C-alpha cells in the first residue's frame, strides 16, 4: 500500500490542482483593528433593524466580521432582507480593504507563481466575497493566475465552509479530480470542508492557536510559513530537462 505523502512540499508536488483559502493563506484581510471596526458596523446595522446585537456578539470571536454574518444567519434565518443588507455591507468593506489595505501573506505570491509555472490548476475557495478576492489579486498582479476560478460566498450563508460548496464549485470549474487536489487553509472550517469534498489538506498555521485549531479538526500536516518550502522542487517536478 502506498504511504500518504506527509511532506508539505511533496504534497504540493503531487497535487495537480491547489485550492487556496483567501484570508490567511493569501493575505490578512482585516489588519490591525479593522476587523473590529467592520464588526461594529455590522452590529450597528443589526441594531438599526431592531435586532439586539448582543444576541450575535456572544457567539462571535471578537473582531470577526464574517462571524457576525454567519451567526446572524443562524439567529435570523428568515430575515432575508436583513441578511442581504449585512452581506452587502460586509462585501463592500472586504472589497475596499482587499484593494487597499490587506497585508500579503509572506511567501504566498511566490508559492502561487511557482505552482502556476509548474502547471498546476489554481483556485480560491473562501467564505469571503469573490469581489474582494478579485480586488486583492488585481492589486498584487495575480488576477490572471487564478482567472475565473475564484469561488466565494453566495447569497446562501448555509453554504459557507465547513459546507464544501465552494470546493465543489472549484473542482467543477477547473475540471480537477478530488483525489488529485490539495487545499491550503487556516481554519477548522477549511479542514472539515476539504474532508467533505475528499480533497487533500495542507494547513497554514501562523501561530500556536491556529496550529491547535487545525490539529483539533484533524489536520495532519501544516506549515507556519511558506518561505521554507522548496519552490525549486515544485518547479523541478515538471521540468522535462531536470534543470
Task: Return the number of other C-beta atoms located less than 10 Å from residue 82's C-beta.
Answer: 18
Q: What pLDDT is recorded for position 60?
A: 84
- Note the pLDDT tens digit of each residue in 44-98: 999 999 999 988 888 888 789 999 999 999 999 999 999 999 999 999 999 999 9
* Arithmetic mean of pLDDT, 176-189: 98
Q: What pLDDT is recorded for position 147?
A: 96
242 within domain boundaries? no
Are both 113 and 224 inside the same structural domain? yes
Q: What pLDDT is recorded for position 3?
A: 54
DSSP secondary structure string, 157-224? GGGSTTS-HHHHHHHHHHT--GGGEEEEESSHHHHHHHHHHT-EEEEE-SSHHHHHHHHHTT---EES
DSSP secondary structure string, 82-116? HHHHHHHHHHHHHHHHHHHTPEEPTTHHHHHHHHH
Q: What pLDDT is recorded for position 6?
A: 81
94 within domain boundaries? yes
Bridge partners (DSSP) listed for residue 122: 18
Last residue of a domain, one of 61, 81, 100: 100
Q: What is the percent of the chain with per-residue pLDDT over 70, rounded to a whole number?
A: 95
3 within domain boundaries? no
CA neighbor of 53 nearest in space, from 76, 32, 80, 34: 76
Are both 129 and 198 inside the same structural domain? yes
- Note the pLDDT tens digit of each residue in 199-216: 999 999 999 999 999 999
Specify the CATH number for the domain of residue 147: 3.40.50.1000
48 within domain boundaries? yes
Are both 168 and 129 inside the same structural domain? yes
Are both 126 and 207 inside the same structural domain? yes
Are both 129 and 191 inside the same structural domain? yes
Counting the structural domains of the chain, the total is: 2
Domain that holds residue 74: 34-100
Q: What pLDDT is recorded for position 238?
A: 53
CA 161 to CA 192: how far, in whole Å? 8
Q: How many alpha carbons lie under 13 Å from residue 204 in its C-beta half-sphere?
A: 26
Are both 169 and 121 inside the same structural domain? yes
Residue 1's pLDDT band (cuts 50, 70, 90): very low
Residue 235's pLDDT band (cuts 50, 70, 90): confident
166 within domain boundaries? yes
CA neighbor of 68 nearest in space, from 43, 51, 49: 43
Cα–chain-centroid distance for residue 56?
23
pTM here is 0.93
Amino acid at each position: 500500500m502506498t504511504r500518504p505523502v506527509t511532506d508539505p512540499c511533496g504534497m504540493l508536488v503531487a497535487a495537480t490542482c491547489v485550492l487556496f483559502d483567501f484570508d490567511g493563506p493569501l493575505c490578512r484581510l482585516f489588519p490591525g483593528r479593522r476587523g473590529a471596526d467592520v464588526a461594529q458596523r455590522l452590529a450597528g446595522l443589526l441594531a438599526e433593524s431592531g435586532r439586539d446585537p448582543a444576541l450575535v456578539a456572544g457567539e462571535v470571536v471578537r473582531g470577526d466580521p464574517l462571524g457576525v454574518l454567519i451567526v446572524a444567519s443562524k439567529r435570523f434565518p428568515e430575515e432575508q432582507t436583513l441578511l442581504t443588507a449585512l452581506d452587502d455591507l460586509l462585501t463592500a468593506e472586504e472589497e475596499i480593504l482587499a484593494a487597499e489595505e490587506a497585508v500579503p501573506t509572506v511567501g504566498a505570491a511566490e508559492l502561487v507563481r511557482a505552482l502556476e509555472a509548474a502547471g498546476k490548476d489554481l483556485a480560491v475557495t473562501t467564505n469571503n466575497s469573490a469581489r474582494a478576492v478579485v480586488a486583492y489579486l488585481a492589486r498584487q498582479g495575480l488576477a490572471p493566475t487564478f482567472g475565473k476560478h475564484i469561488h466565494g460566498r453566495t447569497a446562501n450563508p448555509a453554504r459557507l465552509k465547513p459546507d464544501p460548496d465552494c470546493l465543489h464549485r472549484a473542482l467543477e470549474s477547473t475540471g480537477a479530480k478530488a483525489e488529485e487536489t490539495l487545499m491550503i487553509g487556516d481554519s477548522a472550517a477549511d479542514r472539515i470542508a476539504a474532508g467533505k469534498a475528499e480533497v487533500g489538506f495542507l494547513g497554514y498555521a501562523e501561530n500556536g492557536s491556529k496550529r491547535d485549531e487545525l490539529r483539533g479538526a484533524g489536520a495532519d500536516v501544516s506549515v507556519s510559513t511558506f518561505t521554507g518550502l522548496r519552490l525549486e522542487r515544485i518547479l523541478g517536478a515538471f521540468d522535462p530537462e531536470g534543470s
